[in-house]
Structure 1
Amino acid sequence: MNRRDFLKTTALLGGGALMMTGWPGALLAQETPKKGGTLIWGHSETTQSLDMHVTGSASTLRLLENIHCPIVTVDKAFNVIPMLAESFEESPDGLTYTFKLRKDVKFHNGKTLDSADVKYSFDRVRDPKTGAVNFEVFKDVTAIETPDANTVIVKLGRVNAPFLSRLAENGAGVIMPAGSGEGQANMPVGAGPFKFVRREFGHEVELVRFDDYFEGPAYLDKVISREITEPTVRLTGLRTGELHMINDIPADRVTEVEGIDTLQTLKWFPLNFDFLNFNHDFEPFKDARVREAFDLMIDKEQLLQGALWDQGKLTASPSFPTSSSYDAALQQRPQDLDKAMALLAEAGYGPGKLKLVFKTTTNYPYHVESAQIMAEWFRAAGVEMKIEQLTWADWLSQVWVNRDFQISMMNFFTLWEPDFLYYSLWNSTGAFNYRNIKDAEIDALTQQARGTVDPVARADLYKKVQQRIHDQTLDVILWFRNGTIGAQKTVGGLDTIVHPNGSNLRFHKVWLNT
C-alpha cells in the first residue's frame, strides 16, 4: 500500500536519488575542489551540550565530528583503523592495548598531542563524576600507562572484545587537550578539521577551518550550522538558496526534491532505526502481556506508509543490516486487535481501564504522525491515550534524563557496533537504557558477548539478545529509515560527507563551486 492509498483508506490522520546500502561511496559527479567560502547547512536538529564525552544526542555529535578526532576510527567496511594513533597493537591474551600516537597532531589551542592528553581523556570518560555516556566502555580498564610522550598502554582486567571498536564510535575515543574538560560544553577544543567559533543556542553554530589539521586543511573557510527543526522551513531555505544544504529532506517531499534541476540529493540506507518505548517502571508495562498487546495493535506496514512515506524498510532487528549480528529470521508481530484486547483483559486492563500519555518530540515530525496513527489503533483496542508534543530539549529532559514518561518513540542512528547497540540500550546498566529495562538474561548475554572473542559466537549471542527483546516485547522495533541530504548543485564533495556510521557528517572534503 502506498501513501496515497493509505490516506484514502484510513481516517486516522483526519485528512490529513541515490540509494546505497551502508556508507555512501564516491558515486556522485566529481569536479576539481575549490578553496574558500562559507557553507550554510540547514541542520534538522538542535544541538545540546557541546562536550563530546558527555552528550548523547546524535544531532550534536553530527556537528562535533568536525571539531574532534578519536584515537581510532573505522573504514567503510567498519574495520578499526588508526586516526590520532599512528598504530595500535592488541596483546595475544586480549588484555593489553598499546597505542603509538601520531607526532603531527595539533589541537585548536596550539598544543601538540601527546600521551598525557590520551590518558586525561580516557580517565575523564571513566570518571563517574564526568557523566560520560560511554563510561562503561572503560569498565574493564585497570590501568592507563604513558611510558613516553607518544605511547599509551591500556590494561584490562578481563577480555573486552569490542573495546577497540567502541573507541571508534560516539565519542568514547575522542581525545581532548589535558585539562580542557571543564570548558568543553560551551567552547569545545579538539584536533579536527574545523575550530569552534560561536553558538547561538537553538539558532546556529559557526565553525572555521583549522589550517594545522593533520590530514590537511579543509577546502571551506567556514561552516555555519543553522538549526531548523521545522521540515518545510528547512526545505524552503534550500529551494530559495538561503541554505547550501540540508539533512533530513521531509519524507513526503523527497521525490519532489529529486526532480528539481538546481538541486542534488544524496540518499542512503540506513540512517537510523525507530522503536516504540515503554517505561518499565510504569505499572502496566511491568507486565509483558501488556507490552505485547501494544505490539499487536500496530500495523507496521501501514505505519511506515502513513508516517514515513515509505522512506525506509521494516525490521524486527535493530542490528545494522549488513552486520553478522543482524537476525533476518526475526519477524515482527502482525496486527491482531482481538488478541491484543484479550491480553489486556487477562492482565486486568479491560476496555477503558488503561489510560496513557504518549510523549513525542516535534523534533521528529514523523514521530508525531506515528503517535497520531497509533492512538487510533490503541483506541480501537480500548486504550485511551493523550499525545503530548515536546520540544527536543524537553523530550531529552523529561524522557531521557528524568525518565518521566509512560510511552514514547525514539530513533537511534545505526549503532553499527553491536556492543554499543545492545549493551548501551538494553543492559540494565547501559548508558542509553532510559526505559528502566531490567532483564537478567540480557544482562548476562551482553556481558558474555564482551568476553567472547570469536566473531561468529559473539554474533550468535547478540541474536539471542534480539530474540529476548522480541519475546518479552521490551521495546517494539519498527523500521530502518533512509538518510537524505539535499544540496545546491554548487556543493562539491557531497559524496564524502557521510561518516561510515551513517549518522555523522564530516565537512573536511566538501567545497563550494562558486
Structure 2
Amino acid sequence: MIRPNMERPTMKRREFLATTTALGALTLVTPGRLLAETPVAGGTLVWGHSETTQNLDMHQTGTASTSRVLQNIHNALVTVNSDMEVVPQLAESYEVSDDGLEYTFRLRAGVMFHDGSTLTSEDVKYSFERCADPETGATNFEVFNDVAGIETPDELTVIVRMTRPNAPFLARLAENGAGVVMPAGSGDIQGTTPVGAGPFRFIRREFGNEVVLERFDDYWDGPAHLERIIAREITEPTVRLTGLRTGELHMINDIPAERVAEVEGDASLQVLTWFPLNFDFLNFNHDLELFQDARVRRAFDLMIDKEMLLQGALWGQGETTASASFPNDAARNTDITQRGQDIAAARALLSEAGHPPGSLNVVFKVTTNYPYHVESAQIIAEWAREAGVNMTIEQLTWADWLSQVWVDRDFQMTMMNFFTIWEPDRLYFSLWHSTGGFNYRNINVPEIDALAEEARGTIDADARNALYRRIQDMVSEEALDVILWFRNGSIGARSEVAGLDTLVHPNGSNLNFHKVWLRS
C-alpha cells in the first residue's frame, strides 16, 4: 500500500496514551479471567444504550448515539487503527499523487452488502456524491468541498480528483459518515432501513425503545461471534444500572458518574473506562442580538466555576479544559485557559451591555437525554441568579432538543457534547465555520472561516496546527462557546461478556461489536 505523500495531520494513539494520565484509555476491571479464551459463536447480547437513536441515515445523522449503532451496520472506504493512522477498510489499498490532487482507491473484491449486491466503484461514487449533495442534508458534506470529480475506470478502482490539496481529506473519510459506502441508489431507504457492508445487518427499530441487529454471515472480514444485538434505549442511568445488576441487560454504556467506583467494586461485574469520551460546552444562539455582544457571552462564562461544575454534575468523572482539541493533539492550544468565576465582573459586563441586574431573562434549553446537562443547568442557573440574570430551564426530550435546537435553531442558550472529534478539520470546520455541518449556534466569524479553509490547503503540519491554534484562541477570547470539560467514558458488563477490550473504537466514541462474544 502506498501512503500519502504528505505529513499526517493527527497524533498517534500511542503518543496520546503516553501523555494522558487522568485515567489512561481502556482500563478494564474484570472479575478474574485473565487467560486467553476461544470465542464462542452465537447468543443475543442485550445492550442498555444510554441514548435514543434518531435518523438512521449515516450521512444525515448528527448524533453519536445513532452512529454507535450504525457503525456496526456500515463500513467505510478507510478507517483508523489503534495508532490513529488511516488504513484501508473497504478499500484494499490507496495511493495519493505527489501533488495531493489525486486519490486512487483499489477496492476489495467480493465485498457483499446486506441486500445481496456486491461492492463496486459505482457504489463509492454514489455514496460520495450523495454525501456532497446539499439536497441530502449530510452533516459531513463539506468533506467534499475540494473534490473536482470522481472517476470509476473499472469496477474496483475509484479515482477522486481535487481542485487543490486537502490535507485532512483521508482522515475525514475515516471519521463518522463521510467515508461510509452504501449500495448505489439506496439513499431513500437509509433513514428507516439502513443497508451497509458491516458485520451486522439491520432487522428492526422500535423508536424510543430498541434497535435489533443480526450477524451478517457474509461479512468480508469474517462473521461476528454474536448472533444478535438488541440495543435497548434506556436514558435513565439508574434504570440502566438496575437492569445490568438483575441480568436483564448484558452491558450498559455510561455508568452513572456517582456510581462508577461502586460498580468497580462489584466482583460480579466488569467495568471498562477510558478518557476522554467527549467534550461538553455551553452554547449561545449567535443569531440573537443579545448574544452578538461579546460582553454578554463573556459575562456568562465568568459566572461559571468550571471545576465546581465538573464535581457537581459529573462527580469528578472528567477534566476541565479550555480547548476542545484532544488532550495531546499537536494542534491543541496550550496557551489558553478557562476564565475563573467572577460574579461581580459578570454583573458589571452585563450592566455595561445594557442589562442591569434583574432585567435580563434567559431560557436555557437542555435535554434529559444527558441527565448531567440538566444538573449543570440547575447549578448554572443559581450562579446566573447571583449575577442578576433570571434563567429559566426547559428540559427537552432528545428528539425535541434535536428538532428545536439542532434543526430549527430555536433557542437562546443550550448545552451539548461532542464525542472525541480527534481530527482537527472535522472539529474546527464542522463546529465553528459558518457553513459547518455542526454549527447550529449560527456562529459567523469571517476570520475563523478563512483560517479553517486555509488549514485544509496547508500541507505542512506545523503551519496547519498553528492555524487551528488561532481558531481556538478566538473561540476562547470571544467566548463564542464556553468549553467546559472532557468526560470519561465507561461501560459496565456482566461477567459472561467477553471481548470488551475490542469494543471501543480508537476514536473513543464508537462501539464495534464484531469481536465481542458471550461465554454462555
- Asked if Structure 1 and Structure 2 have the same fold, meaning a TM-score greater than 0.5 normalized by the shorter chain, the answer is yes
Could you tell me which amino acid in structure 1 is paired with residue 281 of structure 2? F
Counterpart of 1:292 (choices 293, 298, 303) is 298
Structure 2 length-normalised TM? 0.94
SS at match of 1:478: strand
Residue in structure 2 matched with residue 106 of structure 1 by the alignment: 112
Could you tell me which amino acid in structure 2 is paired with residue 432 of structure 1? F
SS at match of 1:243: coil
Task: Describe the superposition over 1:488-511 as per-residue Cα deviations: whole angstroms up to 9, x where unpaired.
Answer: 010000010000111100000000
Equivalents in 2 of 1:404, 1:31: separation in Å? Answer: 53
Could you tell me which amino acid in structure 1 is paired with residue 57 of structure 2? D
Task: Describe the superposition over 1:265-302 as per-residue Cα deviations: whole angstroms up to 9, x where unpaired.
Answer: 00000000000000011221110010001000000010
Residue in structure 1 matched with residue 96 of structure 2 by the alignment: 90
Asked whether the 8 Å contact 2:125–2:150 carries over to 1, the reply is yes
Residue in structure 2 matched with residue 449 of structure 1 by the alignment: 455
Asked whether the 8 Å contact 1:50–1:188 carries over to 2, the reply is yes
Residue in structure 1 matched with residue 432 of structure 2 by the alignment: 426
Residue in structure 2 matched with residue 214 of structure 1 by the alignment: 220
Equivalents in 1 of 2:24, 2:59: separation in Å? Answer: 29
Asked whether the 8 Å contact 2:29–2:271 carries over to 1, the reply is no
CA RMSD of aligned residues (A): 1.4
Could you tell me which amino acid in structure 1 is paired with residue 97 of structure 2? S
Residue in structure 2 matched with residue 21 of structure 1 by the alignment: 24
1:159 deviates by 1.5
1:45-194, aligned counterparts within 5 Å? 45-194=51-200
The reply to whether residue 245 of structure 1 matches residue 251 of structure 2 is yes
Equivalents in 1 of 2:192, 2:454: separation in Å? Answer: 38
Segments of 5+ residues of structure 2 without an aligned counterpart are 1-20
Equivalents in 1 of 2:22, 2:163: separation in Å? Answer: 44
Counterpart of 1:325 (choices 325, 331, 343) is 331
1:440 deviates by 1.1
Could you tell me which amino acid in structure 2 is paired with residue 381 of structure 1? A
Could you tell me which amino acid in structure 2 is paired with residue 445 of structure 1? L
Residue in structure 2 matched with residue 346 of structure 1 by the alignment: 352
Task: Describe the superposition over 1:332-380 as per-residue Cα deviations: whole angstroms up to 9, x where unpaired.
Answer: 0000111111111111111011100000000000000000000000000
Counterpart of 1:506 (choices 484, 509, 512) is 512
Equivalents in 2 of 1:36, 1:292: separation in Å? Answer: 55
Residue in structure 1 matched with residue 341 of structure 2 by the alignment: 335
Could you tell me which amino acid in structure 2 is paired with residue 146 of structure 1? T
Residue in structure 1 matched with residue 13 of structure 2 by the alignment: none
Equivalents in 2 of 1:313, 1:162: separation in Å? Answer: 28
Could you tell me which amino acid in structure 2 is paired with residue 488 of structure 1? R
Equivalents in 1 of 2:275, 2:296: separation in Å? Answer: 32
Residue in structure 2 matched with residue 363 of structure 1 by the alignment: 369
Task: Describe the superposition over 1:68-87 as per-residue Cα deviations: whole angstroms up to 9, x where unpaired.
Answer: 00000001121100000000
1:456 deviates by 1.3
Structure 1 length-normalised TM? 0.95
Asked whether the 8 Å contact 1:86–1:102 carries over to 2, the reply is yes
SS at match of 1:398: helix
Could you tell me which amino acid in structure 2 is paired with residue 472 of structure 1? E
SS at match of 1:284: helix
Segments of 5+ residues of structure 1 without an aligned counterpart are 1-17
Task: Describe the superposition over 1:224-278 as per-residue Cα deviations: whole angstroms up to 9, x where unpaired.
Answer: 0000001111110001000000000011111111111110000000000000000
Residue in structure 1 matched with residue 394 of structure 2 by the alignment: 388
Asked whether the 8 Å contact 1:119–1:152 carries over to 2, the reply is yes
Equivalents in 2 of 1:488, 1:259: separation in Å? Answer: 13
Task: Describe the superposition over 1:18-50 as per-residue Cα deviations: whole angstroms up to 9, x where unpaired.
Answer: 975356699983422111100000000000011
Residue in structure 1 matched with residue 491 of structure 2 by the alignment: 485
Equivalents in 2 of 1:456, 1:213: separation in Å? Answer: 40
Asked whether the 8 Å contact 1:23–1:501 carries over to 2, the reply is no
1:329 deviates by 2.5
Residue in structure 2 matched with residue 272 of structure 1 by the alignment: 278
In the alignment of these two chains, the number of paired residues is 497
Residue in structure 2 matched with residue 306 of structure 1 by the alignment: 312
Residue in structure 1 matched with residue 8 of structure 2 by the alignment: none
1:104 deviates by 2.8
Asked whether the 8 Å contact 1:205–1:225 carries over to 2, the reply is yes
Equivalents in 2 of 1:322, 1:227: separation in Å? Answer: 33
1:322 deviates by 2.2
Asked whether the 8 Å contact 1:140–1:158 carries over to 2, the reply is yes
Counterpart of 1:228 (choices 234, 238, 249) is 234
Equivalents in 2 of 1:405, 1:490: separation in Å? Answer: 45
The reply to whether residue 436 of structure 1 matches residue 436 of structure 2 is no
Could you tell me which amino acid in structure 2 is paired with residue 407 of structure 1? M
* Residues 24, 429 of structure 1: alpha-carbon distance in 2 compared, 3 angstrom cutoff: farther
Equivalents in 1 of 2:134, 2:227: separation in Å? Answer: 38
Asked whether the 8 Å contact 2:357–2:389 carries over to 1, the reply is yes
Task: Describe the superposition over 1:373-424 as per-residue Cα deviations: whole angstroms up to 9, x where unpaired.
Answer: 0000000000000000000000000000000000000000010000000000
Counterpart of 2:269 (choices 255, 263, 276) is 263
Equivalents in 1 of 2:444, 2:204: separation in Å? Answer: 41
Equivalents in 2 of 1:35, 1:138: separation in Å? Answer: 40
Equivalents in 1 of 2:218, 2:63: separation in Å? Answer: 28
Equivalents in 1 of 2:504, 2:28: separation in Å? Answer: 9
Equivalents in 2 of 1:76, 1:479: separation in Å? Answer: 24
1:112 deviates by 1.1
Could you tell me which amino acid in structure 2 is paired with residue 209 of structure 1? R
Identity of aligned residues (%): 68
Asked whether the 8 Å contact 1:19–1:268 carries over to 2, the reply is no
Equivalents in 1 of 2:501, 2:22: separation in Å? Answer: 12
Could you tell me which amino acid in structure 1 is paired with residue 148 of structure 2? T
Equivalents in 1 of 2:166, 2:28: separation in Å? Answer: 31
Asked whether the 8 Å contact 1:25–1:496 carries over to 2, the reply is no
Could you tell me which amino acid in structure 2 is paired with residue 330 of structure 1? I
* Residues 351, 19 of structure 1: alpha-carbon distance in 2 compared, 3 angstrom cutoff: closer
Equivalents in 1 of 2:296, 2:430: separation in Å? Answer: 24
